[in-house]
A and B are shown apart, each in its own frame.
Chain A
């Protein structure tokens, strides 16, 4: 478990991280979201003892990172995949890492094999593609078989196969009871990967909640239904509109868009009125929409005026219909 208590980082007048308090618990994947400059990387660096907090504490299993004797066996971290000496081979990089923490060198070859870098292991790291550097970073994080993983943008530069691999990997790690804390800008990917979300904006905690609750909070119950018979459709609309707080829209193709009712409630009502339905589904807001909605007011680097980055909740990407993670 990672514990943040009033974690604060100031750079002169600028407050990068402002009184962050939350627990990142074991056994689940916690996604770390926030706009650029919100303080995500600074927070991760403070957790890992690279940056000194101005105030507050960041603890791993109750200890500051710097007091871990063999930190790689306690925490696996990947911050900047490119921060490797370009002339050193990927394998030697990991061997040095292993020796620092008393990890047997054979473990290096195991993780290289596991991340799919075995063939490139003896090439200079400077020749690696961004995706290969990412895999080397993940190999380093896994090296000590740690109970806690901290990954900053792990899917950055990976191909679709690699993205799927990371997703399965972190979900497996969490299923084994490990703590996984990862940041990403890919909302669709985060939606498939994370169980829990920590969202910050301008260095402050905006949300610390489960994925399901986060999505539910952003979208009131709504559903779509297709009623083939015009007469029955009119009946259903009348019965739906009879209740407070329900609005119904109709498309030309005869599809109803119902706000204020779930698919289950509409299904029950249709059954009660003997109305035939051809299709019925809940409309779920995507993580991207929910996230944009939440951070619209705290985006620091919005692309001025175009509204493409923020401020227009629901402007992008269709409903989430992806596979279960």
Chain B
């Protein structure tokens, strides 16, 4: 019989006028994996941050083993046996796994002893890391393992994992789940925050749902299903199917040949990449993050210097233009209507401190001969995008950074599709977006496809890629490990292709030993 390791009672947290959590009461039981569900901005991470001492609640009480506690700092949280693995790793690259794990601990430094203890933890739960390996040599999943071992080393009895699978291949995720199950057997309390419904179904014992900062309810996973959970999160019925209209009259639009790109340190990020993207089709790009997706899109958009290769744009009348070696402005002048929705929206596609109209102007400010900018047209465009895409904003004059992730993305996509592109590049178009906004974006992308735009869609959720794409190109460490028809493949095949070339690389062999 499980018993409450943590009880949160009436927790409220406000940021200015924004209520992140309002009167949340929740039990986390020993020997149980609890999935915490909710759309973006529903307060999941805030709630867990209060448990790990990063924030302090404005109201409410926290009990650990039925004793009331005040978690005033992360140190106190550690002392109480609460450990959180964040979405973004907090590791020192040049140190080894062991050094990272004992970093910041008090007492005498004894690496040998620490190494023994780490080995012990690894054997107990089935982790697979080399304590002497440097972090920079590790794959993302190995880094994550170090993070988990780090909190276990500090004696955590309550583990919180914030979107742990976002950076993993399906195979790696499955391995993580096995470890989580071992920890559960050991009587630890686990909380996993995730957006992926199938993961919730496969790993968790119980789900708790938050909506707009409030606790909606919890239920045993075996008694529910994805549709019901989604409805609870959103508060109304949503359809979970993504449309895939048949491509109409596809013709080659972008032809990439032998593209090789090195980054500033001289490391090869793309190796001899060749493919063709057709008009009226969505070409999905799958791969573990950092496998060259960014470089690929930026090369096409004129933002990367390539070592060799060619990127040809083929217009409707069969004319070919070389895009490589031109900057975005030159590409525009060549008459290529290229739209690019980059990964880092506020860092690259938009200016966070500028208002909606000024952000619309980014693409159009050069128009006209006057030395002054024309503010009327972008203002109208901003109004149109707000209307058409149902952007929630206090006004056109609001700085974009004040909008929520989904609305920011709508602004960016809205602007990019407004100038009738023939090529649309999107990188992680729905990252950090809630279900509703995600489906709006999928619809917009499909709309462009139906208009005959060649869409290149870099995604991270394989389920989505399989549903929306016509073809999927799988990248692995900068190489194309294959192009498959989305309808004729499955997650397992794509997942394996994502790691195929990596097996040649010895430093990653450890991870895959058990696969």
A, B: real partners: no
Interface residues of B (CB under 8 A from A): none
Interface residues of A (CB under 8 A from B): none
